[in-house]
Structure 1
Amino acid sequence: MEEQAIVIAMVGILGIGSQWIAWRTGWPAIVLMLAAGFLAGPVLGVFDPEHAFGELLEPMVAIGVALILFEGGLSLDFRELRHSGDAVWRLATIGVLLGWFFGALAAHEIAGLVLPVAVLFGGILVVTGPTVVIPLLRQSSVQQRPASILKWEAIVNDPTGALCAVIAYEYFRKVAESPGATVTEVLLPMLLAIALAGVLGFVAALAIAWAFPRGTVPEYLKVPVLLTTVIGLFVVCNLIEHEAGLLAVTVMGVALANMNVSSLRSIHPFKENIAILLVAGIFIILSASLKWEDLAYLNWRFGLFLLALLFLVRPLTIILSLLGSSVPWNERLFLAWIAPRGIVLVAISGLFALRLSELGFDDGNVLIGLSFAVVVTTIVAHGFTIDFVARLLKVKGNTQPGLLIVGSNPWTISLAQQMHELKVPVLLVDSSWQRLASARQKGIPFYHGEILNEATEHNLDLSPYQVLVAATENEAYNTLVCNEFAHEIGRDSVYQLGEAGAEDDRHALPDALRGRALFESGWGVTEVGERQMQGWVFRKTKLSEEFDFEAMQEKLPSSAHTLLILRQGGQMRFFTHAARPEPRAGDTIISFSPPQTRTAEEKAAKRAGKKSGSEAQPA
């Protein structure tokens, strides 16, 4: 009991710790997790998951993979396919067949695996995997279309690759048991079972979509019911056909994502958190479970096979699949390079290694070590080069943090214009076309629509915007916007104008729901509106070693208020009622100040005040 508890604690520490280090350093999190698990397991022998969990390890990993695929399916909206649907469809059909063929050919001719094992492993290699692709896309900034294609391919092809391996295994097993069996006799029952699993996944999604909005499940039980349904569906479909459960849970996730079940929005933060924990845990467990004897099978032929996988199999699959498509060639080449493998490849390879050995294929033992070699090679190769290749092929998105401003009025338009002139990605959002007229005339990027409408998430790419400012005339609406986006952008990155002048709302709006209040004074909508009418303007000031923050304050009118600091790297730090960032040389300060400059008498009075204040300080 103590051993299992220690292993669980160590897995959590290593997994989350690796992701934190990745966040701080910019290194691929998957690489760090693999390294941490490998060091803790076979290298240092800190713990052995197989010894701790025994026969429970395989079902634990399988259920974890199922939940990850379901969570990934929930992020797939068919409206994303309006720009990339043709490419996704090609990769999910033609690409699977070509990848299977080229992968099996390379495994047989280059790695030297016997034909049945090579065909089965070629099917598994179709998998790219959301557990590695999505973290890479999260850490790097890639344009929307290639990122969408990679995400869809990873999630859709995960169960497809598993089913390819099942088909290959069942075929060779049936042929070994009944040499006279035809392909139809072998494949037809299996295909029917797979189709049944897909139907069950869709029916489960329909049941959830019907029950949740009608109040048949209380709010506090929705997440447990959903997770239990996913696990139960996975287990039942696996009883029908091996690995069919992966297809069923993926279908269920995609179906639910496209049924507009509004009550599912409340569980999004939970399912994202559970996915991060599962990815971290499974990667640590699988890499720590690796044995030195699994690597003893690797030789120079396997090295050549890995090179062929990177530079021949994947490029040929993508280029041939997308011939005649609307995807530009630079994006095709990017897709041809990025194909990291992950959890599903290792989990399925380990499962079939045992089964192939039971059928008398000695090369089955090679699959465990070879699958880990594929995972490590592809993750390292693609994880450390994705930014460079994206820049080289000009598919890199905007890496500078952007500012999303909700509400079009003279104050927000002035702020947006100031940030736009500083080359900061900025977007002004309002549901009124009339209120956006001035922004359109000034050439400020804008979006006409309701920011809280679910369709906006699919019509508008919000990923470039890491900071949100809600500044409409409605204080309660600003709070609602900040609370809605806090879990996506971060509670510390959503701001709204303060409560000053909004006494009626003061008791109705809890601080836990509000965004950070802009300005140290906590000015509200009324205060900034009045000053805007009086001619107040935004000013930008660049600090240096010679011209520091105090010198800037001397130059500005005494009533001026500093709003934010723009760092040299593009990061924005706002002055709020609760936080005051530390200005430094190289920063650009954005302040809101009266139109007139400070008079000589004001400057002298301020200097005298500072001097008397410093003399009054106790020694």
Structure 2
Amino acid sequence: MAIESASGLSPVEAIALVGVLGVGSQWLAWRLRMPAIVLMLVAGIIIGPVLGIFDPARDIGPLTGPMISIAVAIILFEGGLTLNFHHLRDAAVGVRRLVFIGAPLGWFTSVLALHYGAGLGWESSAVFGGIMIVTGPTVIAPLLRTARLSRRPAALLQWEAIVNDPIGALAAVLAFSVVLVLNTEGTTPTEATMELAIGVVVASILGWIGGYGLSRAFKRAWVPEYMKVPVLFTLLLAVFAISDAVLHESGLLAVTVMGVVIANANLPSYTELLRFKEHATILLVSGVFILLAANLDFAALKQLDLRAAGFVLLVVLVARPLTVFVSLIGSKLPFKEQALVAFTGPRGVVLIAVAGLFGERLQELGIEDAALIGPLAFVLVAFTVVLHGFTLAPFARFLGLTGASTPGVILIGGSRFTTGMAEALQKAEIPVLMTDPNFGHLRRARSAGIPTFSGDILSEAAENRLEFINYATLVAATDNDAYNTLVATDLSPEYGRENVFQIMREKADSARHQLPRTLGGQRFGPEKPFRELEALVIEGWTFRITRLTDEFGFTQWRDEHPESILLGWMPEGGAIKLVRHNADIKSSAGLRLIALRPPSANGSTQPPAEAGT
């Protein structure tokens, strides 16, 4: 029998509404190129406290708390799953300092800001201060993509967020565990210490056993491929529940440890697990944030006074810069990069989710000022996200720490065709990078002064050495169709499939050689495989760039050059758009066309605005 609330939504309707608003906010934020957390905050507050359409306590009832607890556990497991010690060892000295020095120092400065700035007691400050170590990995990534920072400061901010995500959760768990045992009636200090130690040890052992056992089972093929994600999810819940039964909220520590163990197990199926955590995190982060925003009590917000504003300013202008500058002493990082990192610390969904959870738990222990943790978290997140969302890019440009102003193109494969295209793009002031695993294939590109990388674009060396933030489009154009497909498939999630291209496969029309449509990238404009494109360049075809005007539009260009192969176009002041299969071009003044022209056309009269290689 279905349970319905006396007024409002049924549980099914409420959960569906949370899903639609959460995922819809993330999609809309992607379209508008803004932090999703802002839209989720607005959506949750509108349907909750403002309009009263959705009330979690009324419409979902007692399941709200357990749902949030499980969701936070999975989110923290995801944080642990991203913490690969091998990558951390290879990271810059600044990253390690921000983790090993910055995390404890950030905890300490946050506690002071909460106690003296917001007026919270030491117990609430210790728990909330631990959570504030987290700088928001779900917020940092889109901000970095929008601001287009240089590689080193971007890496510092990204790795700090990834690594400190589970560390902040662990700090909060440990602080809460101390508060819990100290506030348990009839418990002596010795008993409280023993209970805390047992809980932490049991949680750590359970997490290690869960992660090690799962990794061993996957490596030995004891679990079939189609069951790996279900087994992972089930074991995750089991570890969380068992550890929580030993010591309340220690399950969060257990699942974080479990994620770290799996991340460092070198699993062959690690990519599939990462996809699971990405999909699960998007759903759960959206759901948790909508639930918490809808459950926000305006009466609690009204309790905030000027001390709350002082607390936010202390965090942004004192605690964060002090933590970063002290951590990076002796790191030999330029002061400009230190300043950018010091004044960039947006908090995200994880902070609000964990803060809301522990705020409720502290209130249950009778700590009254814990009611302010949730509102303070909302204020801090909203302020920092809006602040850094609008100021990070201008501040980075002021410091000279941004990438190229125009998004560039990565060309995979060193050939005559890609070299000629790269030269044309460079003359059009489009950043370009050519890569090829064969050093000799890049000889022509190096002679032409084109930036090159000799190695596999999918390697860790490429990830560590290349400024990927400067490039928004990728073209796989080697003589190996299988490699082109592999590169396009692997990098599509990073760049977006609409921005990843590959040249036509040699035997694309053969039923025996056709690959699934889900593999590879967009088909690049020319209906010709590598061999034919290379032959055209050898025959004397050249790359030309033409600027359209009001008098000389696309129709006139096509009429004059019917044999030319259009490769792409560049709007005035915009990024290059490569021609997809059967794409239509809308002519406009100032639009520049890049095309491959036959030898017969190179001696003809060109429009005044035309240039080429």
1:284 has 2:294 as partner: no
User: What is the CA distance between 1:151 and its match in structure 2?
Assistant: 3.0
- On the 8 A contact 1:297/1:369 being kept in 2, the answer is no
1:114 has 2:121 as partner: yes
For 1:572, the equivalent position in structure 2 comes to 576
1:436 has 2:442 as partner: yes
Q: Higher mean Cα deviation, 509-518 or 371-380?
A: 509-518
Find 2:530's aligned residue among 525, 528, 547.
525
- On the 8 A contact 1:574/1:580 being kept in 2, the answer is no
1:33 has 2:37 as partner: no
AA in 1 matched with 2:75: I
AA in 2 matched with 1:559: E
Find 1:129's aligned residue among 112, 126, 136.
136
Deviations, residues 236-277 of structure 1 (Å, cap 9, x unaligned)? 333344444334333433443343323222454443233222
Find 1:306's aligned residue among 309, 312, 329.
312
Query: CA, structure 1 residues 179+114, in 2 after alignment: closer, same or farther (shift >3 Å)?
Result: farther
For 2:478, the equivalent position in structure 1 comes to 472
Unaligned residue ranges in structure 2 (runs of 5+): 4-8, 606-613
AA in 2 matched with 1:585: A
1:370 has 2:376 as partner: yes
Find 1:539's aligned residue among 544, 569, 572.
544
Query: CA, structure 1 residues 91+548, in 2 after alignment: closer, same or farther (shift >3 Å)?
Result: same
User: What is the CA distance between 1:514 and its match in structure 2?
Assistant: 4.3
In 1, the alpha carbon distance for the partners of 2:162 and 2:223 equals 29
Find 2:590's aligned residue among 586, 590, 600.
586
1:498 has 2:510 as partner: no
Query: CA, structure 1 residues 403+199, in 2 after alignment: closer, same or farther (shift >3 Å)?
Result: farther
1:419 has 2:425 as partner: yes
Deviations, residues 575-611 of structure 1 (Å, cap 9, x unaligned)? 343323323222211110112337889xxxxxxxxxx
User: What is the CA distance between 1:501 and its match in structure 2?
Assistant: 7.2
AA in 2 matched with 1:336: A
Deviations, residues 44-102 of structure 1 (Å, cap 9, x unaligned)? 11211222222222222222223223334444444544664433333333323322332
Deviations, residues 282-319 of structure 1 (Å, cap 9, x unaligned)? 21111111122221311122222222222112122222
Name the SS of the counterpart of 2:118 in structure 1.
coil
Query: CA, structure 1 residues 84+304, in 2 after alignment: closer, same or farther (shift >3 Å)?
Result: same
Deviations, residues 125-179 of structure 1 (Å, cap 9, x unaligned)? 3333323333433443233333333333334333433443444444455555689
For 2:13, the equivalent position in structure 1 comes to 6
Supply the RMSD in Å over aligned alpha carbons.
3.1
- On the 8 A contact 2:83/2:163 being kept in 1, the answer is no
AA in 2 matched with 1:33: M
User: What is the CA distance between 1:537 and its match in structure 2?
Assistant: 0.7
Name the SS of the counterpart of 1:577 in structure 2.
coil
Query: CA, structure 1 residues 470+228, in 2 after alignment: closer, same or farther (shift >3 Å)?
Result: same
AA in 1 matched with 2:120: L
Residue pairs, 1:11-90, within 5 angstroms = 11-81=18-88, 84-90=91-97
Residue pairs, 1:240-255, within 5 angstroms = 240-255=246-261
Query: CA, structure 1 residues 330+79, in 2 after alignment: closer, same or farther (shift >3 Å)?
Result: farther
AA in 2 matched with 1:546: E
Q: Higher mean Cα deviation, 15-24 or 42-51?
A: 15-24
- On the 8 A contact 2:149/2:469 being kept in 1, the answer is no
Q: Higher mean Cα deviation, 136-145 or 286-295?
A: 136-145
Query: CA, structure 1 residues 188+401, in 2 after alignment: closer, same or farther (shift >3 Å)?
Result: farther
Name the SS of the counterpart of 2:599 in structure 1.
coil
Query: CA, structure 1 residues 513+372, in 2 after alignment: closer, same or farther (shift >3 Å)?
Result: closer
In 2, the alpha carbon distance for the partners of 1:200 and 1:220 equals 25
For 1:101, the equivalent position in structure 2 comes to 108
In 2, the alpha carbon distance for the partners of 1:99 and 1:91 equals 9
User: What is the CA distance between 1:30 and its match in structure 2?
Assistant: 1.1
AA in 1 matched with 2:564: A
1:561 has 2:568 as partner: no
Deviations, residues 467-515 of structure 1 (Å, cap 9, x unaligned)? 2222222333323333333333333333222257766577433444343
AA in 2 matched with 1:44: L
Name the SS of the counterpart of 2:340 in structure 1.
helix
In 2, the alpha carbon distance for the partners of 1:22 and 1:178 equals 48
- On the 8 A contact 1:104/1:121 being kept in 2, the answer is yes
In 2, the alpha carbon distance for the partners of 1:493 and 1:170 equals 48
Residue pairs, 1:45-444, within 5 angstroms = 45-81=52-88, 84-172=91-179, 174-175=181-182, 186-187=192-193, 190-191=196-197, 193-398=199-404, 400-444=406-450
Query: CA, structure 1 residues 513+379, in 2 after alignment: closer, same or farther (shift >3 Å)?
Result: closer
- On the 8 A contact 1:562/1:575 being kept in 2, the answer is yes
- On the 8 A contact 1:113/1:363 being kept in 2, the answer is yes
Deviations, residues 19-53 of structure 1 (Å, cap 9, x unaligned)? 23322322222111111111111011121122222
- On the 8 A contact 2:72/2:354 being kept in 1, the answer is no
Q: Higher mean Cα deviation, 390-399 or 587-596?
A: 390-399
Query: CA, structure 1 residues 458+256, in 2 after alignment: closer, same or farther (shift >3 Å)?
Result: farther
In 2, the alpha carbon distance for the partners of 1:245 and 1:143 equals 38
Deviations, residues 517-571 of structure 1 (Å, cap 9, x unaligned)? 3335x11222212211111111111112232112323443x32111111223433
Name the SS of the counterpart of 1:424 in structure 2.
coil
- On the 8 A contact 2:76/2:169 being kept in 1, the answer is no
Deviations, residues 360-419 of structure 1 (Å, cap 9, x unaligned)? 433232223222222222222223322222223333234533222222111111112222
Q: Higher mean Cα deviation, 57-66 or 234-243?
A: 234-243
For 1:550, the equivalent position in structure 2 comes to 555
AA in 1 matched with 2:547: K
Q: TM-score, normalised by structure 1?
A: 0.87
In 2, the alpha carbon distance for the partners of 1:480 and 1:169 equals 47
Query: CA, structure 1 residues 331+55, in 2 after alignment: closer, same or farther (shift >3 Å)?
Result: farther
Q: Higher mean Cα deviation, 569-578 or 296-305?
A: 569-578
In 1, the alpha carbon distance for the partners of 2:152 and 2:296 equals 37
User: What is the CA distance between 1:461 and its match in structure 2?
Assistant: 5.0
In 2, the alpha carbon distance for the partners of 1:487 and 1:174 equals 45
- On the 8 A contact 1:128/1:154 being kept in 2, the answer is yes
- On the 8 A contact 1:80/1:458 being kept in 2, the answer is no
In 1, the alpha carbon distance for the partners of 2:278 and 2:221 equals 24
In 1, the alpha carbon distance for the partners of 2:213 and 2:539 equals 58
For 2:611, the equivalent position in structure 1 comes to none
Query: CA, structure 1 residues 55+399, in 2 after alignment: closer, same or farther (shift >3 Å)?
Result: farther
AA in 2 matched with 1:583: S
Unaligned residue ranges in structure 1 (runs of 5+): 602-619
